[in-house]
Structure 1
Amino acid sequence: MDFEPYRGELVAYCYRMLGSYHEAEDLVQETMLRAWKARDRYDSTRASVRTWLYRIATNVCLTALEGRARRPLPSGLGAPSEDPGAPLTPAFDIPWLQPFPDARFDMGARADLRLALVAAMQVLPPRQRAVLVLREVLEFSAAEVATQLGTTATAVNSALQRARAALADVGDVGQVTEPDDPEVRAVIQRYVRAFEAADVPALVRLLTDEAVLEMPPVPLWYRGSRDYGLFMRRVFEMRGTGWRMRDLTANGQPALAAYVPDPGGGHRLHTLQVVTVTGGRVSHNVVFADPGVFEAFDLPEKI
């Protein structure tokens, strides 16, 4: 019995549940181990291998989530900062949401992996989260999900309604433009040119009026093109100019690896930026500085 063809989608499922790529990998390994040990008890007349694996993965995820704090982004913790010069003090005690490295799995662009949606889902109780993903994303029937969760189809439908209501303000992720869209590529290329030139006015012109900038593990975040621009001016004053950027994707969105000039020569990795482009402008940028995130994306430390 070969479980490997399902590994990629199971990692994506566990990532949606946990908000951590590294934990998702570990939980899928646990799922595979449990499935292998129970393979003699698998009944193909009652469920497909895929459905059976998702039942095991769901139980593994729910167990892992017991007593856990949710994984937020800074914007999920409070109001935006109004001080672009505020101290950049990391909060390592918070289990921050992590991005998903698309290149690890051949899954294509997936609207249901959008960072904003995964962040919003972390607010849901774990079983509601499971119901939402299993029904809406993976398109299992209510009866199948009921079997996976050991409940009834009526309870599943009720949980789904509550989950949908809780996420109503996230908006339609299907309206978010894909990273390979020509307009999106053009915006990202202009952003890269402005960033590498340390041209703050050009960066600001590429932003929506209400653009959000956040930087886990620093709990600060900013809303509005003015504060975004003031903060970027501060960054270039602190770190210098002459940065280099590399294109990639994360969570089915455009992403950029930012490299700062190294006094010893070349450039060293500074941040991974996951960008949302809406209506031809940058509306959201989540800037990650966690070495664990860099490792997940196989980013070179120096270029």
Structure 2
Amino acid sequence: MTLSGADVEPFRGELVAYCYRMVGSFHEAEDLAQETVLRAWKARERYDPARASVRTWLYRIATNVCLTALEGRARRPLPSGLGAPGDDPGAPLTPAFDIPWLQPFPDARFDVDARAGLRLALVAAMQTLPPRQRAVLVLREVLEFTAAEVAGQLGTTVPAVNSALQRARAALADAGESTGLAEVGEPDDPKVREVIERYMRAFERADVPALVRLLTDDAVLEMPPVPLWYRGSRDYGLFMRRVFDLRGGGWRLSRLTANGQPALAAYAPEPGGGHRLHTLQVFTVTGDRIARNVVFADPAVFEAFFDSSDLPR
């Protein structure tokens, strides 16, 4: 059987999501998925449907592409993965562009299943795993390939796959993460939408007490590419007071989703009138409270989510 482009193209979106889980960069994931498709096209005459489905075969190629890309590569962290939380909400906000930060995934770009496996905290925890363990975890737990299929994709044995999966699960458990849904609210859950709506209204009013009431006691605020992060509703509120003292009120926010989580685009008021895109904020909501807000301010992140006319100049 000789494959055509029509056989391969339907898998592009999920291949991008897989590569993203592996490397932690949306832009790089797009390139690696494209490399996967190109390799599949070049090898199309060698594809044997008796040995594997098209999807299984493509993931074998994608896994090899990702493992090659990760050789000698530093992991992509969030600030909370680099050290203890800050204790000074007035500390200088100095970006660290030399760190290869974890990037968010723009949900609107691709229709991807298993969005629970795209959660920011989970993908950040996955980055701490050795690349082959990471691949086993995603292929088995998120994408639900059999152990035999994963062994074929990695060129190893079923016992080796099972052992790698066990170690990966243990590492994630130690980090407080799992591939399941846990208690994290989905963006379309009415309770989650209400929490985010209340956060939007409070933010646009620069109402810090109202923002703090929406937080869990140990809420986390982090702001890549700034390596600082804070834990606790008190420091979160003090930092937001600093933001509003600096930028004033009159912000505008709009809804979107990222990594299968609710997100907001925040537009800061300009001195001469109008608004400028300031940050992309990705929320973790548990129950009726916000447990984490990852605030991205890197223009390279904005390019994946927004039209060029929205981008800061």
Q: TM-score normalised to the size of structure 1? A: 0.98
What is the CA–CA distance in structure 1 between the aligned matches of 2:115 and 2:135, rounded to whole Å? Answer: 18
Match of 1:190, as an amino acid? Answer: R
**CA distances 1:61-119 after superposition (whole Å, capped 9, x unpaired):** 00000000000000000000000000000001100000000000122671111101000
Q: Secondary structure at the match of 1:75?
A: helix
Q: Is the 8 A contact 1:196 1:245 kept in 2?
A: yes
2:31 matched residue in structure 1: 26
In the other structure, the counterpart of 1:13 is 18
Q: Which position in structure 2 is the counterpart of 1:177?
A: 185
What is the aligned-residue RMSD (CA, Å)? Answer: 1.1
How far apart, CA to CA, are the structure 2 residues paired with 1:108 and 1:282? 24
Q: 2 CA distance for matches of 1:115 and 1:145?
A: 24
* 1:153 paired to 2:154: no
1:124/1:166 contact within 8 Å kept: yes
Give the distance between the partners of 2:230 and 2:40, measured in 1 at CA: 45
Q: Is the alpha carbon distance of 1:53 and 1:8 closer, same or farther for their aligned partners in structure 2, counting shifts above 3 Å?
A: same
Per-residue deviation, 1:183? 0.5
Distance in 1 between the 2:53 and 2:95 partners?
A: 46
Amino acid at match of 1:145: V
Tell me which amino acid in the other structure corresponds to 2:57. Answer: W
Deviations 1:202-252 (A, max 9, x none): 000110000000000000000000000000000011111110000000000
* Identical-residue share of aligned pairs (%): 82
Whether the 8 Å contact between 1:109 and 1:253 is mirrored in structure 2 is no
Aligned length: 302
How far residue 150 of structure 1 moved from its aligned partner, in angstroms, is 0.6
Q: Which amino acid aligns with 1:238?
A: L
1:142 aligned to 128, 138, 147, which one? Answer: 147
Query: Secondary structure of the equivalent of 2:256?
Result: strand
The aligned residue for residue 204 of structure 1 is: 212
Kept in 2, the 8 Å contact 1:109–1:178? The answer is: no
Flag as ranges the 4+ runs of structure 1 deviating above 4 A. none
The residue aligned with 2:257 is 249
Q: What's the secondary structure of 2:51's corresponding residue?
A: coil
Q: Which runs of 5+ in 1 are unaligned?
A: none
Does structure 1 conserve the Cα–Cα contact (< 8 Å) formed by 2:114 and 2:143? no
Q: Amino acid of the residue matched to residue 23 of structure 1?
A: E
Distance 2:21 2:138 in 1: 8
- Consecutive unaligned residues in structure 2, runs of 5 or more: none
